[in-house]
Amino acid sequence: MKSDNSNSETVAVIGAGIIGVTAAYRLQRAGFQVTLFDKEGIAQGCSKGNAGHFATEQVFPLAQKSLLPQVPKMLLDPLGPFCIAPRYFHKTIPWFLKFMNNMRSKLFNENKEALKSINEIAMASWDSLIAETSLQSLFHKQGSLLTFESISSKSAIKVQQEYQAEGISVELLNKTQLNKLEPGISENVTWALLFTDVAHTCCPETLTKEIYLKAKSIGVEFKQCEISKIESDNVLVTITSKGQVYKTDKALLATGAHSKSFCKQLGYKVPLDTERGYHYMVGAAMQPTRPIVSYERKFIMTPMRDGLRLAGTVEFAGLNKEMNTKRADALLPSGKAIWPKINDTKTGEYRWMGFRPSLPDSKPVVGSSPRHNNIYFSFGHQHLGLTLAATNAELIADCILGKETEIPLTPYSISRF
């Protein structure tokens, strides 16, 4: 495969997660000479073990007032869906103050509109990328379910209406309809919402690696090294790794949860933290055919190529603390409660933890650096990095080419902090 056009300019993409890999592919297709850098390899960070859900229905920012009454109960359960490591608590205070500020109606609505506008174009971008790269076998458009065990039909309808008010296609299913769609679902589930326009992948790691292979086939180079410094004199960008120095015309920072220190080097104070999330892989006598999210238990299960992936939970404990395997194990009883066909066969490296890159306004940073004319950002995609990757890649490519982007990038600018 050849690039669409040619341009002798070089772009360094730092970070080979789904965000960096899709951008590298798109930029090379746009005619740039792209080099992708990563300290671990392709898709070895958060993009490796996520739940594989292209969750375009998730347009509500996490910073919402309805969360507040639930927080004290959640904090009392160290293995519950949300926890803060005691030794990390003081470090989270500035982040949480900003998070709470973003719950104010005006900011909540602005953030929601920004998430909505980027989510609205996300699926079309994935459709194009999947078609171009012939990766249909890794991309399944079966919709997803949000299940309810304890709330009344009236409350379920209210949730449905909230999504419909945002233009999301969603159907309410009763027990009979749900059983027909997913015969393995628990008797405890009384209602479910079916989001019809969403998709999932049966292996996010393979999907990322396959897109990388397509990128490589059109000329993207990969260097495995840990970058320690990024500098720009507005003519060239200098990238340093253990004494090695690379010069490039332009650079894109796509280092996910590890982006904060690079932003500092470039003159930006960005309130980036990580919401550590877990997965647990398990066998099942029968797999569901689409991702299933539990409203009450706050986790997701997705049918993967090599087993059923139970995923979720939010843990604030920074980038250095080892994973707490008990948090991964705690997903199993929740999984069995929704999907009794789970058996105790563990598949592969069955416990995993990843660093979601999270900003207190629930929006990513996407666009150019106002202080430099050759540095660009794409990080902070929190719970939606897989969902937004293909569209982010297009937005970034247009931004670097100096073209008008499909949606304005102002809401995602680094200058908002």
Ligand X SMILES: Cc1cc2nc3c(=O)[nH]c(=O)nc-3n(C[C@H](O)[C@H](O)[C@H](O)COP(=O)(O)OP(=O)(O)OC[C@H]3O[C@@H](n4cnc5c(N)ncnc54)[C@H](O)[C@@H]3O)c2cc1C
| Residue 319 contacts residue 355 (beta carbons within 8 Å) | yes
Residue 61 binds ligand X (CB under 6 A): no
Smallest gap from Cβ 257 to ligand X, in A, equals 6
Compose the 333-362 pattern: x for residues touching ligand X by CB under 6 A, - for all others. Answer: ---------------------x-xx-----
Which residue from 3, 9, 31, 39 is in contact with ligand X, where contact means CB under 6 A? Answer: 39
Rounded CA-CA distance 160/54 in Å is: 19
Q: Please state, in angstroms and rounded to a whole number, the distance separating the CA atoms of residues 236 and 95.
A: 33
- For 109-114, the CB contacts below 8 A with 24+ separation are 110/411, 111/61, 111/63, 111/361, 111/362, 111/363, 112/59, 112/60, 112/61, 112/166, 113/411, 114/363, 114/411, 114/412
Site residues (CB under 6 A) for ligand X, limited to 81-100: none
Residue 51 as a binder of ligand X (CB under 6 A): the answer is yes
Minimum CB distance to ligand X, residue 381 (Å): 4
- Residues in the interface with ligand X (CB under 6 A) total 43
> Cβ of residue 206: shortest distance to ligand X, in angstroms?
14
β 82-84/307-316 pair status: parallel
Site string for ligand X, 148-187 (x = CB under 6 A): ----------------------------------------
Whether the CA torsion 100, 102, 105, 109 is positive or negative: it is negative
Of residues 254 and 284, the one with the C-beta less far from ligand X: 254
Which of 130, 173, 203, 227 is in the footprint of ligand X by CB under 6 A?
A: 227
Q: Applying CB under 6 A, which part among 37-45, 96-104, 156-164, 404-412 lies near ligand X?
A: 37-45
Please report whether residue 37 would count as binding ligand X according to CB under 6 A.
Answer: yes
CB of 288 to ligand X, least distance (A): 14
Provide CB contacts within 8 A for 410, sequence distance 6+.
none
Contact between 384 and ligand X per CB under 6 A: yes
The interface region with ligand X, picked from 45-53, 176-184, 215-223, 338-346 by CB under 6 A, is 45-53
Three-class secondary structure of residue 198 per DSSP: coil
- Residue closer to ligand X (CB basis): 116 or 157: 116
Nearer to ligand X (CB atom), residue 29 or residue 383: 383
Q: Footprint of ligand X on residues 278-317 (CB under 6 A)?
A: 278-279, 311-312
Radius of gyration of the chain, Cα coordinates, nearest whole angstrom: 21
3-state secondary structure 291-312: CEEECCCCEEEEEECCEEEEEE
Cα–Cα distance, 37 to 15 (Å, whole number): 6
